[in-house]
Each structure stands twice: as structure tokens, then as C-alpha cells.
Amino acid sequence: VKSTELVAKWRKNLVGQNHAIDVIIPYINRYRANLHMPRRTVGNFFLTGPTGTGKTRTPETLARVLHGDERNVLVINCETFQADHEVAKLIGSPPGYLGHKETIPMLSQAKINAVSSEECNISIILFDEIDKASAALWRMLLNILDKAELRLGDNSTSDFQNCLIFMTSNKGSVEISRELYGGFGFDRKERFDGLTDQAKVKLEKLGRRSIEDGFSPEFFNRIDETIVYRPLTQNELVAITELELSKIASHIQDRLGKHAFLLEYGAEAVDAISKLGTDSRYGARFLKRTIDKLLFNPLCNAYLDGDVTSGSVVTIIRQDETVNWNVALPSVIDIDEALDEFLQESGVVQ
Ligand SMILES: Nc1ncnc2c1ncn2[C@@H]1O[C@H](COP(=O)(O)OP(=O)(O)OP(=O)(O)O)[C@@H](O)[C@H]1O
Ligand SMILES: [Mg+2]
């Protein structure tokens, strides 16, 4: 696959963060050209920036592009590996210890290889929310970043030379969001139309400062690239909404096959859903939940009840200028109540 094709495909799936893609792609190309440095990972990236802008989504979409499957990512959710015995789930415990060999450690060579594919032998590993990592996890991470290898509990070693390592920081994201939006009085109807150059510089500074403050220099020195994600513009949020809707539409086709119904929507509906499910402060963080609650769950119910049957054409329409809109079906589903309840639950509106 040509690099330009990779980039084009990735941009379609990861919206509005081209600067991140442009930083990561050269590392992948170097590896594919067999010209990367030995005893180093393919590349390691520290992602920070406002919430809901695609940091966690980055390795997932890359897996889709490289391997044809978003699930080809080894995800270490750092928050869940606090205690030492939990770190043992990653590297295993020495022979003779209780629990030894009960399960295959997550960072064993076998598990790393399992997320590569025939198309591409790069394994993508995500350490999500590393600011919540325990001291033991930190030591482990430093080892990996240093020599691209890790000794496991049973004395075997895992090789990370064909791994792309992503690390995301949530702490930074909360701080940055607060600085970006705090006091400026953006409300959810007032969308960001993209950053000015000045704001971009400020955002970079904020991002880097949040890392320098929160993490040790020895960690910082081992990072190949720090990438500060940008808040998404209204147009980008609409594009993401369209992406998520098309995923649901094809999911329905894939799962139901010849019993499937057709999901139709025009630009107006996409726009309305994006207004409900995204905003400048939370990015697309609540989008999937919004779509589930407003559209997907009622659709499933309608299908179960027989209101929507195989071959039905379900058109999502927007009913008026406010938040009321319905799924137009042979019989119409009213989702207003679900909507109000959801918006309050999720804290999007008070
Ligand atoms: N740039 C983007 N391109 C495509 N989808 C996106 C993008 N940003 C967010 N999304 C959508 O929003 C969801 C949440 O994004 P993601 O988990 O990547 O946020 P995040 O930046 O990791 O935020 P947090 O700091 O809160 O963890 C994704 O699953 C995806 O559906
Ligand atoms: Mg995240």
C-alpha cells in the first residue's frame, strides 16, 4: 500500500487531526522501508489535548487502516493496573508464585503478535490514560521505551521492535479543556470554528506544559513525539457524526443480512444529531451514547416489535428547529422523552 493511500484512508476515519497523522506516518514508513532503528520501537507517541477529540480513537483507526480491523490493538487501560498483583496480569509472575501460568500475560510475545496481521506485521499497543499508572507500571513502560524489550515473570522476553506505542494522558486533557473553555463562556450552541494560529500555539504550550509538570524527565526523554490534539470544529463534528451513522447502517446490513432494513438520512438529520451528540467542550465524547439512546435502541425495539421489518426503509428526519425529531417509520417512534432524560443524565445540559 502506498503511503499516500494510507494517509487518505486514515484521514477519513480520524477526522480533523491531520497534524497527528502527519507526525506518525513517517515512523510507519521508516519501518515499512526496513530502515528503522534497531532496538527501538517503531515509534512511541504521547497524545494529549482536550477530551473527546480522538486520542484513544487514533490507534483504533490506525488498526483499521493497517490491519483492516479496529480491534487489532493491544489496549492497556492503565487505571486498571494499579496494584502490583494487577501488573502481574501484564508481565506474569515468577514460576512457583500463586497464579503463575493461569493466564497468558498481556504483554507476552504471543499477545503482541496476535494484534499484527498478514497485511502488516506492526503491532499497535495503547497505554490509555497513563497518568493513572502505578509506579510498577511506570518502570515497566520506561523499560519498553528504552530498549524495546521487556523481561516477563517467567524470564522470557517480549520484543517491541515491531510495535507502535501510543500513550494517552487524561489529566492533561481535563486541564487543557478547562483552560480552553473556562471563563470564555462557550455554550453548547456556540461552536468552535477552528483555532486561530495564536490559539494553536497556546494549545501546544498548554499540552507540553501539562506533560512536563506531570511526568518525569526520564520518561519525557524517551518519547519520540508528543502530539497535542485540537478541539474539533463544527464541520468536523458533523463529519464524525456522519461516520458513526454510516457505521450503524452497515452494522445493520452485516448483522441482519437478508433480513436487514435500510437506514436513510440526509444532511439535515446528520446535522441535527451532531448538534445533540457533540459540543465544543466534550468533542464527540458523548456522540455514540447519544446515537444509541436516540436512534439505535429505539430502532432495535421497533425491529423486535415488528414495527420495522426486513426491507423497511427507516428515514431519520428532523421535525423542527429545536431538539424534536423523529424516526419516520411505518409507525413513528417518539423519542423526545428519551432525549430529555439522556441530556440531563449525561450532564450535557443542566
Ligand atoms: N477526531 C475524531 N475522528 C473520528 N471520531 C472521533 C474523533 N474524535 C472523537 N471521535 C469519536 O468520539 C469518541 C471519543 O473519542 P476518543 O475516545 O478518541 O476521545 P479522547 O480524545 O480519547 O478523549 P478523553 O481525553 O476523554 O479520553 C470516539 O470513539 C469517536 O466515536
Ligand atoms: Mg481517551
Which residues of the chain register pLDDT less than 70?
Answer: 96-102, 172, 174-175, 181-194, 318-350
Cell numbers that stand for 256 in this block:
441482519
Residue 244 CA, closest ligand 1 atom number: 31
Distance CA 258, CA 185 (A): 50
Give 325 Cα–ligand 1 centroid separation in angstroms.
25
What are phi and psi for residue 56, nearest 5 degrees? -65, -30
Exposed/middle/buried for residue 20 (C-beta within 10 Å: 0-12, 13-18, 19+)? buried
The residue contributing the CA closest to ligand 1 atom 28 is: 57
Per-residue pLDDT tens over the stretch 93-138: 877 666 555 678 999 999 999 999 999 999 999 999 998 888 889 8
The residue contributing the CA closest to ligand 1 atom 25 is: 51
- Closest-lying ligand to the alpha carbon of 21? 1
Q: Would you state the pLDDT for residue 332?
A: 39
Q: Which is nearest to 107 in space by CA: 91, 95, 94, 122?
A: 91
Give 316 Cα–ligand 2 centroid separation in angstroms.
29
The residue contributing the CA closest to ligand 1 atom 19 is: 52
Q: Would you state the pLDDT for residue 189?
A: 38
| This prediction's pTM | 0.86
Residues with CB under 6 A from ligand 1: 14-17, 51-57, 168, 170, 173, 240, 244, 283-285, 287-288
Distance CA 61, CA 42 (A): 17
Distance CA 151, CA 134 (A): 18
Pocket perturbation via mutation, ligand 1, pick of 10, 57, 58, 168 by most ligand atoms within 8 A of CB: 57
Give 283 Cα–ligand 1 centroid separation in angstroms.
7
Distance CA 217, CA 220 (A): 5
Q: Nearest 5°: CA angle at 281, between 276 and 287?
A: 35
Q: Would you state the pLDDT for residue 148?
A: 96
Give 55 Cα–ligand 2 centroid separation in angstroms.
5
What is the 3 state secondary structure string of the chain? Answer: CCHHHHHHHHHHHCCCCHHHHHHHHHHHHHHHCCCCCCCCCCEEEEEECCCCCCCCHHHHHHHHHHHCCCCCEEEEEHHHCCCHHHHHHHHCCCCCCCCCCCCCCCCCHHHHHHCCCCCCCCEEEEEECHHHCCHHHHHHHHHHHHHCEEECCCCCEEECCCEEEEEECHHHHHHHHHHHHCCCCCCCCCCCCCCCHHHHHHHHHHHHHHHHHHCCHHHHCCCCEEEECCCCCHHHHHHHHHHHHHHHHHHHHHHHHHHCCEEEECHHHHHHHHHHHCECCCECCCHHHHHHHHHHHHHHHHHHHCCCCCCCEEEEEECCCCCCEEEECCCCECCHHHHHHHHHHCCCCC
Give 94 Cα–ligand 1 centroid separation in angstroms.
38
The residue contributing the CA closest to ligand 1 atom 7 is: 54
Give 147 Cα–ligand 1 centroid separation in angstroms.
30
Give 54 Cα–ligand 1 centroid separation in angstroms.
3
Question: How many other CB atoms sit within 10 Å of the CB of residue 36?
Answer: 17
The residue contributing the CA closest to ligand 1 atom 18 is: 54
Q: Would you state the pLDDT for residue 194?
A: 67
- Closest-lying ligand to the alpha carbon of 277? 1
Question: How many other CB atoms sit within 10 Å of the CB of residue 117?
Answer: 15
Give 56 Cα–ligand 2 centroid separation in angstroms.
4
Q: Would you state the pLDDT for residue 142?
A: 93
Distance CA 116, CA 123 (A): 5
Distance CA 59, CA 293 (A): 26
- Closest-lying ligand to the alpha carbon of 70? 1
- Closest-lying ligand to the alpha carbon of 50? 1
Q: Nearest 5°: CA angle at 263, between 259 and 267?
A: 170
What are phi and psi for residue 327, nearest 5 degrees? -90, 120
β 123-128/163-168 pair status: parallel
- Closest-lying ligand to the alpha carbon of 55? 1
Q: Would you state the pLDDT for residue 27?
A: 97
Buried b (16+ CB within 10 A) or exposed e, 196-218: eeeeeeebeebbbebbeeebeee
